[in-house]
Structure 1
C-alpha cells in the first residue's frame, strides 16, 4: 500500500513537470518569434548599408573596366564577368547588359567556351525576370560538349531550375509533371558533375527529392547542409528558403516562419533583390492574421522586385499586396471605430463628471476650483479627439478620392449602357451612332490627367519645386495658370510612383515608346545631375 502511494506521488510530480513544460512552450515560441522579428527589422534598417557596400564594389569594378585598354579583350571579359556576378541578383538591366558584354567579348575572342558561358549567364538573368521562352532560346544555342565540367554543371542546373519554375508557374495537371520530369533529367546531370561532399551536390539532391515529393529525404539533406557546411549569405538564403517550402507543405507554419526569417535576413545582407523569401514570409504572416508585419514585409518585397526589375516577381507581389493592403485598411477602420467608441465613452464619462461637479458646486462652493480643473481636462480631451478625427479624415480622403473617381466612371458607363440598350430595343441605330459620337475621349483623357495631377500633388505638394531644383533657371519648367503638371512632369511623376517601365508610361500617357525615350533623354540632358543620378534624385522627393 505504501509503495502504491509513493508511486502515485511520483507519477503526479511527473505530470506536473510535463504540464509546466507544455505551458512554457507557447511562451518560448512567441519569444523566439519576437526576437527573430526584431532581428529582421534591424536588418531592414541596415539595408542601405549592405547595398552601399555592394555598390562600392561595383563602382571599383566599373572603374577598372574604364581603365582597361579597348584591345585588352580578355581583361574586359573577366571584369564584365565579375560585374555580372555582382548584378545578377541585384539589378536586371545591368546584369543583362554585362551578360551581353560577355557574349560580345567572347565572340571577338572567337572563344566558343566564353560565348557559351555568356549565354548561360544571360539565361539566368532572363529566368530571374520570369522570361521563360527567352531563357530557353538562350540555353538551346549552347554547345554543351565543348564546356568544362564546372560550366556544364551550371548549364544543367539552370535548365533544371527553368523547368522547375515553369512547372510551378503553370500549375497544370498535364504540363507540370512533364516539366518536372525534364527538370529531373537535367538536375541528375548536374549532380553527376558535382563532388559528393560539396554544397552543390547536397543542395541539388535535396531539391530533386523535394520536387519528387520525397519531403523527408529532402528535409534531411537540407538540414545537413545547414548544420555542417560553412555557407555564404546567399547559400544560407537559398537553403533555408527551400527547406521552408517543405515545412509549408507539411503545414508546420511556425518552423517555416523561423526559416524564412533567416532567409530574408540573409538576402538583405547579400543585397539580393531577386528573392522570394520576403514574399513568402509576408504570405505566411498574413495567413496567421499578422496584417501589420505582413504589410511591412510585402512592401519590402515589392521594393526589391521593383529595384531588380523582375516582372514575374512584381506580378506575384502585387497580387498579395492588394489583399494585405485591403485588410490593413479594414484594420485601421476597425481601430477608428473602437477609438470612436472609447471617445464616446470618455465624453459620456466627462459629462457625468461635470454633472456631479455641478451638483457638488451647488452644494459646496469650496469645490469650484476643482470643477474648473475638470472642465479644462474635458476641453483638452476634446482637442485630442478632434486631432485624431482630422488624421482619420485625411486617410479617408486619400482612399475615398479614388473610390469616387472609379464610381463616377462606372456611373457614366452604366448610363451609356442603358442608353445603347434602349436604342437597340427601339432599333434607333442612328441615335446609337450619335451617342458614340458625343463621347469626347480627349476631354475624358484631359480630365483623367487633371485628376491624376491633383491626386499626385496632394501626396507630393513640393514635387514641381523639387523637380525644378534639378535644373538651371533657364531650363526649369514653367507652368501656365491653368496647368498643374505638364507632360515632362507627368513622366517623372509616374516614375516617382514606382512605374519605371517605359512601355507602361507610354501607354498611360498615350505616346509612343520612342517619344517617351526622347522626352526622358531631353529632360535628363538639361539637368545639372548626371543622367544615371537623375531618376534616383526624383525617387528621393518626399511625400507629405
Structure 2
C-alpha cells in the first residue's frame, strides 16, 4: 500500500510538471462560454450533417414514389434543392436543372422563373456573380407578382456580395451600393412577412450608419425566427456586424459564435461567421482556437464548393497558420525539455515498477492456479453427483422393469401350459402372434422410461423449447414424451448411436435420422450445435 501511494504521488508530480511547462495558451474572455460551446460542436458537426442527409434521403424516396405526376415531382425536386442549398451546391444545382426541364416541358412560366431565381441565388452563394446576374437580368421586369419578393431578395444578396467584393475599387463599389440600396427598398416593399421586413429595415439602417435602429430591427428578427435554422444564423451574424461597428468586440465575438453554432446545428456549410470569428481570435492572440475554427471553415467551404468563401478565407489563412506554427514551435521546445526530465524520472520509476510487477505476477499466477484447480474440482463434483443420481434412478427403474417382466413371463408360462394341456393350439397361436400385446408392452416400457427420465430431468421439455422457434415448441402433458423428444432424451443419457436408438424405439435408422433432422430444423441455433446444447441440460441434482 505504501509503495502504491508513492507511485501515485510520483506520477502526479510528473503530470503537474508537464502541465505547467505547456500552459501558455491565453484564456478566452467574456464570450468564452459561447466559443467553448462552438468548439465542442465542431467536433460533432458530422452528426448534424447526417440528420440533414436523412431528411434528403426521405425526400428522394418520395420522389421515386411520385411516378409521372409532374406537379408532385416539381414540388419534391424543389424541396430537395432547398435542403441542399446552403449545404451542398452541386447537388442543389442538379435538382434545380431537373425542375427547369419540367418547367420547359410543361411550358410553365411561373415554374421556370421560380427555378431560375433559386438558381441565381445558388450561383451567387458559390461566387459565380456574373452567371447569377445574367439569370436575373434575363428575367428582368417580367417577374410574376408571387415571385417578386424572391427576386428582390436574391438581387439584394447578389449586390451585397458584389459591393463587398469590389470595395477596393471605389467606382464599382459606389455603383453596386446604389443597386444594393435599391433592392433593399424593393425587398422591404415586396415582403409580405413582417419578419423579413425587420431584416431589410436593418440593412437600410446599416447602410445609413443608424446602428441603434439597426440593432433594434435585427433583435426583432432574431426573436421571430426559429432556432437551428439558417435564418437564425443570419440574424446573429447581422447582430455581430452591428456590435463590431459600434466597437463592442466582446458582443461581436459572442454573436459570431452563436451564428456559427446555428450554422452547425442546421448543417449549413455556406457560412461566414466562423471565419470572421477565427480572425478576431487571431488578433487577440488565441492562435490555437483561431486555427481550429479556420480549418473547420475551410472544410465547410470546400464541402459546399463556395469559391467566394474559399477566396475570402485564403486572404487570412496564411497569417493565422504562421502565427499558429510559431506558437506550436515554442510549445514544442518547452515540451522537449519536459520530455527529457520526465524520461529520467520514468526510467527510475520503470525499474522500481518492474520489481513490483515481477512479484505481483508470481502471486497472481499462484492464485489463478488455485482458482482453476478449485473450479475444476467443483465441476468434477457436480458431474459425479449427477452421474450418481442418474445411476440410482436407472438402477431402480430397471430393477422394477425386470420384476414386471418376470411376473409377466410367469403369467405367460402358466397360460401357455394350460392351453397346451387342453389342446387349445389355435388360441395359443393367436396369443403368440397378437401384435396388440407387443404394442401394449412397448407403450408401457416407454411410459415408464418417460417417467424415470423426467424425474431426473424435470425441465427437459422446457429447456428443449428454448432451443426451438416459438411456433415450433412442444406442448407436452406432464410425465410423458413423444418420439421426437424421446430420441433426444436418449441422446442426453449418452446414447448417441442411431442404431441403439432405433433398436430401443423400434424404428428404422432412416426414420431416426429423419426425426433428428426434423427437430434440428426447428431450432433457433446452428444444427451442428443443437445436440451439444441438449447435453448441457442439467438434471435435478445439478440445481
**TM-score interval, smaller chain:** 0.5 to 0.7
1:218 matched residue in structure 2: 214
Per-residue deviation, 1:379? 9.6
1:442-521 paired onto structure 2 within 5 Å: none
1:37 matched residue in structure 2: 35
1:114 matched residue in structure 2: 111
Aligned residues: 325
1:301 matched residue in structure 2: 297
Q: 1:177 aligns with which of 174, 178, 184?
A: 174
Per-residue deviation, 1:192? 0.6
Give the Cα–Cα distance (whole angstroms) in 1 for the partners of residues 282 and 83 of structure 2.
33
Q: 1:376 aligns with which of 342, 348, 351?
A: 348
Q: 1:329 aligns with which of 317, 325, 329?
A: 325
Give the Cα–Cα distance (whole angstroms) in 2 for the partners of residues 214 and 86 of structure 1.
35
2:95 matched residue in structure 1: 98
Per-residue deviation, 1:378? 11
Preserved contact between residue 103 and residue 114 of structure 1 (Cα < 8 Å): yes
Distance 1:138 1:342, change over 3 A: same
Give the Cα–Cα distance (whole angstroms) in 1 for the partners of residues 346 and 254 of structure 2.
51
Distance 1:79 1:378, change over 3 A: closer
1:128 matched residue in structure 2: 125
Q: 1:313 aligns with which of 299, 309, 312?
A: 309
1:10 matched residue in structure 2: none
Query: Could you list the per-position Cα deviations for residues 153-206 of structure 1 after superposition, in whole angstroms to 9, with x for gaps in the alignment?
Result: 0101111121121010011212112211111111211111123x6210000110
Per-residue deviation, 1:227? 4.1
Q: 2:54 aligns with which of 53, 56, 60?
A: 56
Give the Cα–Cα distance (whole angstroms) in 2 for the partners of residues 88 and 226 of structure 1.
21
Give the Cα–Cα distance (whole angstroms) in 2 for the partners of residues 84 and 309 of structure 1.
15
Distance 1:98 1:339, change over 3 A: same
Query: Could you list the per-position Cα deviations for residues 65-99 of structure 1 after superposition, in whole angstroms to 9, with x for gaps in the alignment?
Result: 22332x42211111111011100111110111111
2:282 matched residue in structure 1: 286
Distance 1:176 1:66, change over 3 A: same
Preserved contact between residue 88 and residue 269 of structure 2 (Cα < 8 Å): yes
Distance 1:65 1:141, change over 3 A: same
- Report whether the alignment pairs 1:163 with 2:155: no
3-state secondary structure, aligned to 1:140: helix
Per-residue deviation, 1:300? 0.6
Distance 1:379 1:283, change over 3 A: farther
Preserved contact between residue 144 and residue 152 of structure 1 (Cα < 8 Å): no
Query: Could you list the per-position Cα deviations for residues 397-433 of structure 1 after superposition, in whole angstroms to 9, with x for gaps in the alignment?
Result: xxxxxxxxxxxxxxxxxxxxxxxxxxxxxxxxxxxxx
Give the Cα–Cα distance (whole angstroms) in 2 for the partners of residues 31 and 65 of structure 1.
50
Per-residue deviation, 1:226? 2.8
Compute the RMSD of aligned alpha carbons: 2.6
2:254 matched residue in structure 1: 258
Per-residue deviation, 1:30? 5.8
Give the Cα–Cα distance (whole angstroms) in 2 for the partners of residues 130 and 215 of structure 1.
28
Give the Cα–Cα distance (whole angstroms) in 2 for the partners of residues 96 and 318 of structure 1.
25
2:13 matched residue in structure 1: none
1:418-437 paired onto structure 2 within 5 Å: none
Q: 1:277 aligns with which of 254, 257, 273?
A: 273
Give the Cα–Cα distance (whole angstroms) in 2 for the partners of residues 378 and 287 of structure 1.
45
Structure 1 runs not aligned, ≥5 long = 1-28, 351-372, 381-544
Give the Cα–Cα distance (whole angstroms) in 2 for the partners of residues 52 and 231 of structure 1.
18
- Report whether the alignment pairs 1:154 with 2:150: yes
Give the Cα–Cα distance (whole angstroms) in 2 for the partners of residues 154 and 208 of structure 1.
18
The two structures have a TM-score, normalised by structure 2, of: 0.56
Per-residue deviation, 1:287? 1.0
Preserved contact between residue 116 and residue 143 of structure 1 (Cα < 8 Å): no
Per-residue deviation, 1:255? 0.7
